[in-house]
Structure 1
Amino acid sequence: MEQVLRPIYQERASQPNTLGVILVEKHEEKSNVTDTFDTVLLIIVKEADTPVFTKHYLYEDNKVALHTVTEKLLRKWLLIGSNKKVVDWIFFGKILFDRNEFLHKLKIELQEFPFNGRKIKTGIQFSKLIRRYLEGKEYFDKGSYLDAYNHVVDSLHHLGRLSIIDSGLYPEVTVWGQVKKIEPAIYKLYEELVTSHEPIEKRLELLFLASEFLIHSRTQDGARHIIEVMKKKEAWTIQELHDHSELVNYSVDLEVFVEYLVDKGFILIEPVIAKSEMIFHRHYKVNVDALL
């Protein structure tokens, strides 16, 4: 297949804007790492008008997908974990073109997972965990057990990814294989949730109790990144937090996360008088007495 696709990727490799080309082939019939395609060509470019551009090809009975992605979008995917298959493509795909060892350096970067990258990714994963846990608890209290179950499964996935990140590794697509080795206690919780014959209400009740302890024990690390950002000035409006270049990746989970940290005493509310003396703006600042 590489020989067949050579004219396609060589044309792009000759362009100075192209940083690297990766070939990923499906080796197992039921594997979905290539999104049902037989072959995937991933082309990383420095910049483009469209951050991701996709073409599909057909060769005899083989389906081929070509994705052209900007470096900026690729790094965003890697940071927030929104396109998990890309990690496997980078680690296990065949490098066909590598300008100035861009892909080689990227793989080393992912393997070593720099501390600052871990810190940001921990904060993002923790904020997602908080949202899913709180929403799941709300459904549970209302008696909507199937909706609660769905949220608990997601929250356990985020807990699992946090344990992998804490160990200095990068979460792969098959995250539970990693969690089983790194954090057996979380793996056991997940296993009990999905395989236990206990009534769903009982399973959820036990999981919420266990998750509460695990979340509490990780709050300090999970809050480290946002607290370090907020220490750079005295007080923040919520919009200023949304607009910050490092916090923008928290997206829709940011406000729930901030409220959680207010509740836990890491962030304090500073009322600032508005136009009406009866209404105050709600500003946020770090509680310096909360040691991180």
Structure 2
Amino acid sequence: MEKFLRPVYERYTKDVNTLGILYVESVRPHSPLTENFDLILLIIIEEADNPWCAAHYEKAGETIEVNIVTKTQLTSWIDTSGYRRAVEWIINGNIIFERNGYVKQLKAQLQNFPRKKRNLRKTIDFGKLLKSFYEAKQLYKLGEHKDAYSKIMNALQYLARLTVLEKGYYPEVMVWNQVKNIDIEVYKLFEEFMLSDEELDKKIELMLLAVDFMINNRAISGALHLLEIMETKDEWSYAELKKHPDTKAYALDLSVILSYLAENNYLDVIRKVSNGDNLFELTYKARNDSPS
């Protein structure tokens, strides 16, 4: 396979800017792991003006997607789940070339999955889980059952990813295969939603209750990255938290996370007099006696 791909990657092995080159073969037609291509070639470089560029090729009837990505961009994808397939490419990829053991070290880091990075990923997915759940709940109340069904499916997907992260693994594209092996309760919840013969409105009603219960059980774990930030200072305004560099990856869902934590007594909400009569700014304080 390396000989087959050599014309595509060879010039990069001679460039000191290149850190590593891997390839992934499709194991089945139209594989999501390889973006429906027969082969994925991942070239990791130190730096470039364009942090990610890609090209498509065909050789001897085989389709190839080449991704050239900087180390900084790749790290961002790994830490924030910006591009999940890239993690699988590194874990499952075959090393063609590496400089100073870079790719082997990267693979080892992914296997270890450091606590800080895992907590960040959990809070990212916890925020998306909350947002999907609340949207499903609102759509159900409005009688928009088909749209509510779609949002519950989204919520279940984020619940699955959160479940995998809690067990110390990176979520894969086919995440439900992972969940089936590590948390049968969550997997059966998904099966029940997919296979139940209940009327659509009843099915949604029951699933909203179940997902609400699952969220509550995972609140501390899911929001731990944010809670640990908040413990570094007595109280925080929303604006302060939103501009904090460590919340950037989930800034769009920060408001819904704070609202959930405050509503469920994981945070104290403090009202501070602001400009104008009867106008108060809300600040938030992590509680030492929050529910566990």
Give TM-score scaled by structure 1 length: 0.93
**5 Å matches for 1:100-179?**
100-179=100-179
Amino acid at match of 1:166: E
Cα RMSD of the aligned pairs, angstroms, is: 1.8
Give the distance between the partners of 2:67 and 2:150, measured in 1 at CA.
Answer: 31
Gaps spanning 5+ residues in structure 2: where? Answer: none
> What secondary structure does 2:236 align onto?
coil
Residue 70 of structure 1 is matched in structure 2 by 70
Give the distance between the partners of 1:85 and 1:287, measured in 2 at CA.
Answer: 37
Which 4+ runs in 1 deviate beyond 4 A? Answer: none
Give the distance between the partners of 1:142 and 1:9, measured in 2 at CA.
Answer: 55
Contact 2:32–2:173, Cα closer than 8 Å, also in 1:
no
Q: Structure 1 residues 53-62 or 17-26, which shifts more?
A: 53-62
Residue correspondences, number: 292
Contact 2:265–2:291, Cα closer than 8 Å, also in 1:
no
Residue 84 of structure 1 is matched in structure 2 by 84
* Aligned-pair CA distance for 1:119: 1.6
> What secondary structure does 2:100 align onto?
helix
Residue 203 of structure 2 is matched in structure 1 by 203
Contact 1:22–1:97, Cα closer than 8 Å, also in 2:
yes
**5 Å matches for 1:31-46?**
31-46=31-46
Give the distance between the partners of 1:88 and 1:238, measured in 2 at CA.
Answer: 35
Amino acid at match of 2:258: V
**5 Å matches for 1:44-59?**
44-59=44-59
> What secondary structure does 1:246 align onto?
helix
Give the distance between the partners of 2:140 and 2:25, measured in 1 at CA.
Answer: 43
Contact 2:78–2:87, Cα closer than 8 Å, also in 1:
yes
Give TM-score scaled by structure 2 length: 0.93
Contact 1:87–1:173, Cα closer than 8 Å, also in 2:
no
> What secondary structure does 2:194 align onto?
helix
Give the distance between the partners of 2:32 and 2:116, measured in 1 at CA.
Answer: 31
Structure-2 change in CA distance of 1:22 and 1:208 (3 Å)? same
Give the distance between the partners of 1:80 and 1:255, measured in 2 at CA.
Answer: 18
Amino acid at match of 1:261: L
* Aligned-pair CA distance for 1:291: 6.0
* Aligned-pair CA distance for 1:176: 0.7
* Aligned-pair CA distance for 1:257: 0.9
Residue 193 of structure 2 is matched in structure 1 by 193
* Aligned-pair CA distance for 1:23: 1.0
1:247-274: CA deviation from partner (whole Å, max 9, x where unpaired): 1011311111111111112222333333
* Aligned-pair CA distance for 1:113: 1.5
* Aligned-pair CA distance for 1:166: 1.5
Residue 274 of structure 1 is matched in structure 2 by 274
> What secondary structure does 2:27 align onto?
coil
Q: Does 1:223 align with 2:239?
A: no
Contact 1:113–1:168, Cα closer than 8 Å, also in 2:
yes
Identity rate of aligned residues, in percent? 36
* Aligned-pair CA distance for 1:42: 0.8
1:36-82: CA deviation from partner (whole Å, max 9, x where unpaired): 22222111122221121112223243322111112222122222223
> What secondary structure does 1:247 align onto?
helix
Gaps spanning 5+ residues in structure 1: where? Answer: none
